[in-house]
Amino acid sequence: MGRIRSLLLLLGLVLLGVLLVRIDLRPVLYQVRSLSWGLLLLLFPCGLTVILDTFGWRYAFRGRLLPASTLLPVRLAGKAFNMTSLTATLGGEPVKVYLLRAWVSVEEGVASVVIDKTTSLLAQVCVLLLGLVFSPLLLPAGSPFLNGMVGLALLGVLATGGFIMAQRRGLCSRSLMMLNRLGLTWHRGVEAAQGLDDAIAAFYSIHRPRLILSYLFHLMASLVGILEVYLILWLLGLPISLTTALMIEAFSSAIRAAGFLVPGAIGVEEGGNVAVFLALGLTAEVALSFSVIRRIRELVVIVAGLAALAVVRRGRPIPHPG
């Protein structure tokens, strides 16, 4: 798997290189430089998104709710690990479980991460569907790009629905059984997997209000992303409608999610943004400027996440719940 991810990273870098060669970088550099203090304004939607996602995770716990002040640095640390490692967008989840071991059991931590990922995916799919609802206002019916987004939405719905069904039918136990059939026997893991399946099933059947709250917080976080798109393009001197901002956020996020196996979505995010912007009548140069600004935002998140990781590991000002 490590070789596959390295190969995908290489392909992403090649795609990024092609974009950099074919697109005039002078207006891109000028636009990014012209922002200066404007970049500070982007910290507000970025920070708000992280906070809302943290509350989405908070309501994915079965037992006592942990304070957001405990979960926020742990979530930031997980995001930083996702963005800086070759583990695609999944490596940060075990990191979060590991960092939470002082407050909850591993079983509870894993269950919360699985449920949180589920409600987050559901929110992303809903935003993509919302973008498709408004697409006739800006995209011609039957365009190749729109057809591609429809196909991506169908895959998202099927994947999310399948993920939920698998959890309700014993995802962990069945996965362990498959590994056993492949000769990878882990006898002590059977009981742990069954306990994890029971914890997830109990959450879905008993804590439905929390499940709904988790989804709503992730949905609000995704909607804040629309405002971030609007703000970025406004700062670049290209005011757009909220409908256009919605479609940019919905489609670019979907393309990035589809490339989850590529570490950092290198090349995938930039190429996807160019495709989205061109389909909406904007230029490739603006798309690349937009991508650079979002990468700068990611660097801020990485720095904050690494700092949070250092704080959590040293057991400093993160309060123990209770």
Total domains in the fold of the chain: 1
Residues 153, 114, 130, CA angle at the centre, nearest 5°? 25
pLDDT tens digits, 198-211: 888 888 888 899 99
Domain assignment present for 176:
yes
Q: 3-state SS string over 2-15?
A: HHHHHHHHHHHHHH
Compute and round to an integer the Cα radius of gyration of the chain.
Answer: 20
CA distance 281 to 294: 20
Q: What is the model's pLDDT at position 228?
A: 95
Mean local confidence (pLDDT), 10-30 = 69
pLDDT tens digits, 227-282: 999 999 999 988 899 999 999 999 999 999 888 777 777 888 889 999 999 999 99
Q: What is the model's pLDDT at position 319?
A: 42
User: Greater confidence, 317 or 120?
Assistant: 120
Domain assignment present for 22:
yes
Domain assignment present for 321:
no
Domain assignment present for 320:
no
Domain assignment present for 57:
yes
Domain assignment present for 238:
yes
Q: What is the model's pLDDT at position 90?
A: 62
CA 41 to chain centre: 21
Q: Among 238, 232, 237, 235, which residue's Cα sits nearest to residue 252?
A: 232
Domain assignment present for 30:
yes
Contact between residue 161 and residue 193 where contact means Cβ atoms under 8 Å apart: no
Contact between residue 259 and residue 275 where contact means Cβ atoms under 8 Å apart: no
Which residue range(s) make up the domain with 171? 2-314
Domain assignment present for 123:
yes
The DSSP symbol for 279 reads H
CA distance 92 to 132: 30
